[in-house]
Amino acid sequence: MTPSSNSKDFRLDGKVSVVTGGGSGIGRAIARRFAGAGSIVHIFDLNASDGEGTCKLIRDEGGDTSAHACDVTNQAQVKERFAGIFRKGRVDILVNNAGISHIGNIEGTSAEDFDRIISVNVKGFYYCMSAVVGHMKANGGGVILNMASIAGSAGVADRFAYSMSKGAVIAMTYSVARDYLQHKIRCNCISPARVHTPFVDGYLRKNYPGREEEMFEKLSKAQPIGRMARPDEVGALALFLCSEEAGFITGCDYPLDGGFFNLHG
């Protein structure tokens, strides 16, 4: 590699990506980052208007994108959406990002809560990987990136069901990476700590009306680094892991946690 080639680092030119939950927050940041690096980006989101909102931002920035209304808990619909893209060409990258949160310990988690978390955060990831992995095999490889959480590997209070689901995401990542090495499919995951997304702002408005700023500061200081992550910081790591520069990386869980896992407490 020569110094002049550095300008090409972390490019996705000619690559086609699918980002689930790309209508807001981390998914939107990843979609915009990928489009800016030259990828054609397909946005899957339960909320069609959110998906179109991300597409408008990407198009305004000169990117190539399309939105697809998709409920990742509906396997038939997931297969249908991917099949539509396959008819036009190939998918090189899948970012499994669509997910939901839940607050509560085991006593505060109903069976309905537990089933909903499994449906979105575990089955949704499984459905999307299952839909794309055969296609990637047939086309000589690809990259799968799963959004996990530091809660999947560290003890986080009142996150029983959510932590369970993200632990499952990490385990699925390792399994897919192992099983598809010979097919040139890389699979990794990112485990963020708290990220400042619209979800956080909505949570504070709902649960701490009038105390939003105070609680935001408290949540921010819970990270040893003293602040929450920004969605674009997650997007930057996602871009690296899905780029050719990360071609020797598979079967890894990357903490993006401001020191939470090793420095907390």
Catalytic positions, written as ranges: 162
Question: What is the SS3 assignment for the chain?
Answer: CCHHHHHHCCCCCCCEEEEECCCCHHHHHHHHHHHHCCCEEEEEECCHHHHHHHHHHHHHCCCEEEEEECCCCCHHHHHHHHHHHHHHCCCCEEEECCCCCCCECHHHCCHHHHHHHHHHHHHHHHHHHHHHHHHHHHCCCEEEEEECCHHHCCCCCCEHHHHHHHHHHHHHHHHHHHHCHHHCEEEEEEEECCECCHHHHHHHHHHCCCCHHHHHHHHHHCCCCCCCECHHHHHHHHHHHHCHHHCCCCCCEEEECCCHHHHCC
